[in-house]
Amino acid sequence: MKNIDSTTHVKGESIYLDDIPLINGTLFGAAFGSPIAHGVIRNLHLDEALQESGVIKILTYKDITGINQIGGIIPDEPLLAEHHVHFCGMPAAFVVAETDDAARAAVKKIKVDIDPLPVITDPREAKEKNELIIPPRTFVLGDVDAAWSGCTHIFEGIAETNGQEHLYIETQGAYAIPQENGAIKIYSSTQSPRATQQASCKVTGLLMHQIEVEVTRLGGAFGGKEDQANAWAAMCALASHLLKRPVKYSLHRMEDMAMTGKRHPYSSDFKIGLDKDLKIVAYEATFYQNAGAAADLSPAVLERTLFHCTNSYFIPNVKAKAYSCRTHLPPNTAFRGFGGPQGMFVIEAAIAKAAEYLGVDASVIQKKNLNQTGDEFPYGQVAVSEAKACWEKAETIYDVNALRKEIKSFNDQSKLYKKGLAFMPVCFGISFTNTMMNQARALVHVYTDGSVSVTTGAIEMGQGVNTKILQVASQVFSISPERIRIQSTSTHKIANTSPSAASATADLNGKATLMACAAIRGRLLAVAAEALNVETSSLELKNEKLCVNGNECDWDWQRLVMAAFLKRVSLSEHAHYATPEIHFDKLKEKGHPFAYHVYGTAIIIVTVDCLRGTYEFDAVKLVHDFGYSMNTAIDRGQIEGGIVQGIGWMTMEEIVYDKEGRLRSNSLSTYKVPDIYSVPRIIDIDPLQTHKDNLAIFRSKAVGEPPLMYGIGAYFALRNAIKAFNPSAQISFSAPMTPEKVLVSLYQKQESSTHEQTIKHMAIPS
Ligand code: LUZ
Ligand code: MOS
C-alpha cells in the first residue's frame, strides 16, 4: 500500500504548521537569543525594540505566570534566561508583534550587556572541571581487568564523532490560540504532544486539561522535535495566555540552526584486546558526551550509547563508562539513533585499528565476533541473533569475493581513483530504554455509515506511521482502506503519550490500534452470532463480508455495524498497550530493556578522487532484518533515507562552533548536507525475513533508526580507499571524513602526521 499522504504531498496540499489558516488578530512572536555563550546578564535593553512599530509586548522571565522551567528529565533549563546565559542563542526575551517582520525587526533592536565567563566547548575539558549533567554510568560484563593478560593483541586509541544538524524541512514552530475560560489550543510541530503540553502548562501555570496540543503532521523531525519543540510552544502559550490573542512563532532556518541542539558530539577512548584467533576478548571504552548547556535528553542518549557500545558483537569482557559533560553549547538532543551510532562508531574504530595493525581486513575480525543467539549483551539481555544470518547472506548474494577482486584490479590499474569497501553490521535495540515510556493508546470509532476513525499518540513526520496504522485497522476489520481515516494527534483525544521516537511508534501505537479494533470486531461478531444463532467462533470478517464457517453470508460490514448500533452495542474503543517482558534495573545496569533487536549488514563501496579528495559512493548493498515487512515501500524509503543521512553524518556534515561557542556552520551555505549527487549510485536492499518477533506489529520490525548506522561504514570504506593510495597514512578516527580531511590524508607522510594519535601495540608473547 502506498503512503496515504503521497497524493497531497505531491500536490502541496498536506497541512503543516505554516499552512494552518490564521485567525484574525493573530500576533507573531520571535525570540531574542543571547549573543554570548556564557555570562551574567547585567542589563537587557528593550526600549528601542519596544518603539518598533507593531510591537505589542516583549516578554522576559518576569512575565512568566507559572515557573520558568522546561527541563524534561532534569529541571535545569529555564525557558527565558534570568541572570545567567549558558549558550549562544539561549532565549532571553520573546517579542510579540502585529507582524512577523515587526517581531524580527524588534529582535534586532534588543541589546544586552553580559559580563562574559569562561566558555567550555570541549567535553573532556568539562569532565576535568567536573561539569557533569549526571553521575557517570558504567556497564560491565565479565572482568576486563583480568582479561587483558589473556590477550595476544591490545590496541588503544581515541575516536571522535561530530554533531549533526537535524535539518528537518519544516523548522520548529507553534501556534497558540486562546479558547473559552482561559484554555489554550496549541498547534505545534512536535514529536511529543504530551511534553509540549506539559512544558506549556508549567510555564503558564495552567492545568493539562486546559491546554490541548494538536498535530497533523511534521515536515521531518529526526529527534530534533522530541524535546526541543517545547520552548516555542511554551512562549506562544505564555504570550497568548497574557494577551488573550492567538500567537504564532515559526522559526526561520538560521534561528532554528542557532537556537536548537543537535546530535551529540562524542570523544571516546577505547582499548580492545584480541586473542591469537582474532576473537575479541576484552573491550573497554570511555565516552565523553558533549551534552551542551542543559540536560535535555542527554542522560537517555548516554544510556543508549552504552547499550550499543558493542554493536553486533559478542565480547565476553566489557567495561564501558560514559560521562555526560556540560558545555556552553545549545543543549544537544535526540537524533535518529539516539547515542547508539556514537557508541557503534567507537567499536568499529577499535576493530579497524586492530585490523590495520595486524594486516587483515577489518571484516575478518568483524565476522568472527558477530553475536549469536544465547550470547549476553553487557546489559544482561540475551541475544536472539540474526547477525550471522544477515552477514552470510550479504556475502553470498552480493558475491563479495568478486567485488573485492574488481576493486583490487581497479585499484591496481587506476592511479588517481581508488576504491574502498567496508562492511557495517548493525544491531539496534527496539524500545525506549526508559521502560516506563513503552506504552501507547488508540481511540477507534466506527460510525454508522461504516466509516472508521482512528486516533493514536503517533505523530506522522514523514515516516509513514499513519499508513501502517491504517493498515492495521483495515486488516483487523477486513475492510477497505478507503473506509478508514487516521485523525490528527491531540492531547484531548489521546492523553499522556510518549514521543514518537525510538523507532517504536508503529509498534506501540499499532498494537494499541490492533487491540481497539479487535475489541470492536469481537462485539460486532457477537451481535451477528446472536442474530444468526451461531457460535461467535464460526464467524469471521473477510473483504467486508461476514463469513459463517468460511462461507460468505448476506451480512456485509455496513449491515453488521448498523445491527450493533441498533442493539446499543458500543462501536468505539480506547485501548492501552504496554510492551510486555521488558525491564531494566538502573542500579545493577542489567535487565531486558528491548522488545527485540533489529539486525543487518551493509557493504559500502566508495571511489575517491585522489587528486581532489572528493568521493562518490558506488554502492550500498545490504541484507536487512525486516521481520516480515507490512509495507515494503515505506520500509525501503526509511532505509534509503537512513543510509543517506548516516553517510552525511560520517562524511560531509560538519558542525563548527568556535572557541566562544558561536555556531559558524549556521546556514546551508556553510553546512553541507547530502543532496541527490551524494546519494550512492546503487542501494540494494535484500530482506531477511524472520517470523519470530511477535512484539513487532504484525511481526514487521521497527525500521526508523537502524539504517542510519549502515552509514558508519562510509567512514571506514573511505579509510580503506585512502590506504589504497597512501598505505602509510595515519588517519585519525575522527568523523566526518570531509573531502578536506581525505585530501590531507591522501598526501600525508607518516612523519609529518599532525593528527597522529597515540598508538600502542603491545604484543604479549603467548
Ligand atoms: N527517545 C527516548 C529515543 O526518549 N528514549 C529512547 O530510548 C530513544 N531511543 C531512540 C530514539 N529516541
Ligand atoms: Mo528519536 S532520536 O527516535 O526522537
Question: Strand ranges (DSSP E) for 298-395?
Answer: 317-326
Please determine, for residue 573, whether its predicted confidence score (pLDDT) is greater than 80: yes
Decide the pairing of beta strands 682-689 and 615-627. parallel
- Which residue has the CA at smallest separation from atom 5 of ligand 1? 432
pLDDT digits (tens, 9 = 90+) for 49-103: 999 999 999 999 999 999 999 999 999 999 999 999 999 999 999 999 999 999 9
> What is residue 140's predicted lDDT score, i.e. its pLDDT?
98
Please determine, for residue 755, whether its predicted confidence score (pLDDT) is greater than 90: no
Decide the pairing of beta strands 615-627 and 596-609. antiparallel
Cα separation, 67 vs 55, in Å, equals: 25
Residue located via cell numbers 526508523? 704
Prediction pTM value: 0.96
Cα separation, 700 vs 723, in Å, equals: 40
- Nearest-ligand number for the alpha carbon of 72: 1
Q: Which ligand 2 atom sits closest to the C-alpha of 335?
A: 2
Q: How many residues does the chain have?
A: 766
pLDDT level of residue 414 (50, 70, 90 thresholds) = very high
pLDDT digits (tens, 9 = 90+) for 521-568: 999 999 999 999 999 999 999 999 999 999 999 999 999 999 999 999
Q: Which ligand 2 atom sits closest to the C-alpha of 225?
A: 4
- What residues pair up with 292 in beta bridges, in sequence order? 326
**Residue 219: all three cell numbers together:** 515536515
Cα separation, 717 vs 602, in Å, equals: 11
pLDDT digits (tens, 9 = 90+) for 675-717: 999 999 999 999 998 888 889 999 999 999 999 999 999 999 9
Would you give the distance in Å from CA 317 to the centre of its chain? 29
Nearest to 584 by CA among 692, 697, 429: 429
Decide the pairing of beta strands 211-215 and 184-188. parallel
CB of 313 closer than 8 Å to CB of 370: yes
Q: Which ligand 2 atom sits closest to the C-alpha of 221?
A: 4
Residue located via cell numbers 561557542? 661
Out of 303, 348, 395, 705, pick the active-site residue.
705
**Rounded average pLDDT over 38-46:** 98
pLDDT digits (tens, 9 = 90+) for 296-338: 999 999 999 999 999 999 999 999 999 999 999 999 999 999 9
Query: Which amino acid belongs to residue 669?
Result: S
> What is residue 692's predicted lDDT score, i.e. its pLDDT?
81
- Which residue has the CA at smallest separation from atom 11 of ligand 1? 502
Q: Which uninterrupted H or E stretch holds 400?
A: helix 400-413
pLDDT level of residue 757 (50, 70, 90 thresholds) = very low
Please determine, for residue 760, whether its predicted confidence score (pLDDT) is greater than 80: no
3-class secondary-structure state, position 177: strand
**Rounded average pLDDT over 196-206:** 98
| Ligand 1 center to 485 CA (angstroms) | 28
Please determine, for residue 763, whether its predicted confidence score (pLDDT) is greater than 70: no
pLDDT digits (tens, 9 = 90+) for 621-643: 999 999 999 999 999 999 999 99
| Ligand 1 center to 636 CA (angstroms) | 22
pLDDT level of residue 750 (50, 70, 90 thresholds) = low
Q: Write the CB contacts of 62 (distance below 8 Å, at least 6 apart in sequence).
A: none
Please determine, for residue 132, whether its predicted confidence score (pLDDT) is greater than 90: yes
Q: Is 304 in the pocket of ligand 1 (CB under 6 A)?
A: yes
Q: Is 708 in the pocket of ligand 1 (CB under 6 A)?
A: no
- Nearest-ligand number for the alpha carbon of 296: 1
What distances in angstroms separate CA 481 from CA 2, 563, 699, one per listed residue?
11, 22, 20
Cα separation, 136 vs 299, in Å, equals: 10
Question: Strand ranges (DSSP E) for 439-571?
Answer: 439-446, 452-456, 484-486, 489-490, 539-542, 545-548, 551-556
Q: Which ligand 1 atom sits closest to the C-alpha of 498?
A: 4
> Left (φ > 0), alpha (ψ -120 to 50) or beta: where does 136 sit?
beta
- Which residue has the CA at smallest separation from atom 3 of ligand 1? 502
- Which residue has the CA at smallest separation from atom 8 of ligand 1? 502
> What is residue 565's predicted lDDT score, i.e. its pLDDT?
98
- Nearest-ligand number for the alpha carbon of 465: 2
- Nearest-ligand number for the alpha carbon of 195: 1
Q: Write the CB contacts of 337 (distance below 8 Å, at least 6 apart in sequence).
A: 304, 428, 705, 708, 709
| Ligand 2 center to 503 CA (angstroms) | 7
Cα separation, 49 vs 38, in Å, equals: 23
Q: Is 121 in the pocket of ligand 1 (CB under 6 A)?
A: no
Cα separation, 697 vs 692, in Å, equals: 12
- Which residue has the CA at smallest separation from atom 10 of ligand 1? 502
| Ligand 1 center to 325 CA (angstroms) | 19
Q: Is 695 in the pocket of ligand 1 (CB under 6 A)?
A: no
CA atoms 6, 11, 16, 21: torsion sign: negative
Please determine, for residue 217, whether its predicted confidence score (pLDDT) is greater than 60: yes
In eight-state DSSP terms, residue 114 is: E
| Ligand 2 center to 338 CA (angstroms) | 6
Q: Which uninterrupted H or E stretch holds 58?
A: strand 55-59
Q: Is 231 in the pocket of ligand 1 (CB under 6 A)?
A: no
CB of 144 closer than 8 Å to CB of 313: no
Neighbours of 67 (CB within 10 A): 14
> What is residue 751's predicted lDDT score, i.e. its pLDDT?
55
Residue located via cell numbers 511481526? 699
- Which residue has the CA at smallest separation from atom 12 of ligand 1? 502
Please determine, for residue 465, whether its predicted confidence score (pLDDT) is greater than 60: yes
| Ligand 1 center to 295 CA (angstroms) | 14
CB of 688 closer than 8 Å to CB of 620: no
744, HSE (Cβ side, Cα atoms, 13 Å): 13
Question: Ligand 2 test: best mutation among 168, 336, 434, most atoms within 8 Å of CB?
Answer: 336
In eight-state DSSP terms, residue 171 is: P
Q: Is 298 in the pocket of ligand 1 (CB under 6 A)?
A: no
> What is residue 748's predicted lDDT score, i.e. its pLDDT?
92
- Which residue has the CA at smallest separation from atom 3 of ligand 2? 501
For 672, counting Cβ atoms within 10 Å of its Cβ (0-12 exposed, 13-18 middle, 19+ buried), the class is: middle
CB of 317 closer than 8 Å to CB of 282: yes
> What is residue 749's predicted lDDT score, i.e. its pLDDT?
85
| Ligand 2 center to 339 CA (angstroms) | 10
pLDDT over 90 percentage in the chain:
97
CB of 403 closer than 8 Å to CB of 420: no
CB of 723 closer than 8 Å to CB of 742: no
- Nearest-ligand number for the alpha carbon of 708: 2
- Does residue 705 have an active-site annotation? yes
Q: Which uninterrupted H or E stretch holds 93?
A: strand 91-97
CB of 267 closer than 8 Å to CB of 285: no
Would you give the distance in Å from CA 108 to the centre of its chain? 33
| Ligand 2 center to 300 CA (angstroms) | 11
b or e along 680-690 (b: 16 or more beta carbons within 10 Å of the residue's beta carbon)? Answer: beebebbbbeb
3-class secondary-structure state, position 506: helix
Phi, psi of 116, rounded to the nearest 5 degrees: -70, 150
**Secondary structure (DSSP) of 642-679:** HHHHHHHHHHT----B-TTS-BSS-STTTS----GGGS
Nearest to 317 by CA among 139, 138, 147: 147
pLDDT digits (tens, 9 = 90+) for 253-276: 999 999 999 999 999 999 999 999
| Ligand 2 center to 88 CA (angstroms) | 24
For 535, counting Cβ atoms within 10 Å of its Cβ (0-12 exposed, 13-18 middle, 19+ buried), the class is: exposed
Question: Ligand 1 test: best mutation among 194, 301, 703, most atoms within 8 Å of CB?
Answer: 301
Please determine, for residue 766, whether its predicted confidence score (pLDDT) is greater than 80: no
Q: Is 433 in the pocket of ligand 1 (CB under 6 A)?
A: yes
**Secondary structure (DSSP) of 540-582:** EEETTEEEETTEEEEEEHHHHHHHHHHTT---EEEEEEE-SS-
Phi, psi of 158, rounded to the nearest 5 degrees: -120, 140
> What is residue 754's predicted lDDT score, i.e. its pLDDT?
41
Cα separation, 609 vs 641, in Å, equals: 25
Residue located via cell numbers 556564557? 38
3-class secondary-structure state, position 5: coil
**Residue 376: all three cell numbers together:** 549476553
Is the peptide bond prior to 123 cis by the omega test (within 30 degrees of 0)?
no
Q: Which ligand 2 atom sits closest to the C-alpha of 191?
A: 4
Would you give the distance in Å from CA 256 to the centre of its chain? 18
| Ligand 1 center to 439 CA (angstroms) | 13
> What is residue 29's predicted lDDT score, i.e. its pLDDT?
98
Cα separation, 162 vs 352, in Å, equals: 19
CB of 350 closer than 8 Å to CB of 283: yes
Q: Is 501 in the pocket of ligand 1 (CB under 6 A)?
A: yes
| Ligand 2 center to 58 CA (angstroms) | 33
- Which residue has the CA at smallest separation from atom 4 of ligand 2? 223
pLDDT digits (tens, 9 = 90+) for 225-237: 999 999 999 999 9
CB of 625 closer than 8 Å to CB of 690: yes
Residues at CB less than 6 angstroms from ligand 2: 191, 223, 226, 334-336, 338, 501-502, 705
Q: Is 216 in the pocket of ligand 1 (CB under 6 A)?
A: no
Q: Which ligand 2 atom sits closest to the C-alpha of 226?
A: 4
pLDDT over 70 percentage in the chain:
98
Cα separation, 306 vs 343, in Å, equals: 7
Average pLDDT, the chain: 96
- Nearest-ligand number for the alpha carbon of 432: 1
- The arrangement of strands across the sheet holding 84-85 comes to 84-85, 39-45, 111-116
**Residue 87: all three cell numbers together:** 549558550
